[in-house]
Amino acid sequence: NAGVTQTPKFRVLKTGQSMTLLCAQDMNHEYMYWYRQDPGMGLRLIHYSVGEGTTAKGEVPDGYNVSRLKKQNFLLGLESAAPSQTSVYFCASRPSGREQFFGPGTRLTVL
Amino acid sequence: QQQVKQSPQSLIVQKGGISIINCAYENTAFDYFPWYQQFPGKGPALLIAIRPDVSEKKEGRFTISFNKSAKQFSLHIMDSQPGDSATYFCAASRQTSGSRLTFGEGTQLTVNP
């Protein structure tokens, strides 16, 4: 099992550009999450999904959109990137239990 | 609004010493309190977790102490080793709303040989 994978690992964008981050899990988990990690702020939840076809807002959803068309994939989109979205983005998934399994992260820089 | 407050921000201990990281929470509806360990360039990984019906949980050198009345919990690392050097996050969640995790700010632990 690959677990939780994230694509790409690194990306540099210019202000106003758009991009999509892909999270994939092969553990048949129902729940998936997108977090951003910034120095001194821990991890903050952007959006999450409780199952295929569902999404919900987290703590810091503004400027991001998500989709969960397939159970194994959770996509995070930035329509018009801003420097404030420079961060490390982590995807996580979990089964019916409470433990969340994290991917390796995507480091995004917006110039 | 930071619902989970963590301290200290950084911690340096000598090999063999005890590392202690503290967290405080506000929401009494939280019913699950995990600690995650993160090495540079990696995603966080669950280290140990506790539920509020117990006051202490121990797994090897790692112990969580939980004080429900004070709304505080802490991680103790006994016999700290250089391999324990990492960033540690406390977190909290409740069963509803997808069991979303609310994280503390993180503690960067350095264990000197």
pLDDT in tens, B1-42: 569 999 999 999 999 999 999 999 999 999 999 999 999 999
Q: Nearest C-alpha of chain B: how many angstroms from A81?
A: 23
C-alpha of B43 from chain center:
15
- Asked if B85 is an interface residue toward chain A (Cβ–Cβ < 8 A), one would say no
* pLDDT tens-digit series, residues A35-45: 999 988 899 99
- Judge: A4–B98 Cβ closer than 8 Å, yes or no: no
**For residues A25 and A6, what is the distance between their CA atoms, to the nearest angstrom?**
9
Residue B111 has pLDDT above 80, yes or no: yes
Band of the pLDDT at A62, cuts 50, 70, 90? very high
C-alpha closest to that of A35 among A98, A101, A109, A88: A88
Model pLDDT, residue B2: 63
A46 exposed, middle or buried (CB, 10 Å; 0-12, 13-18, 19+)?
buried
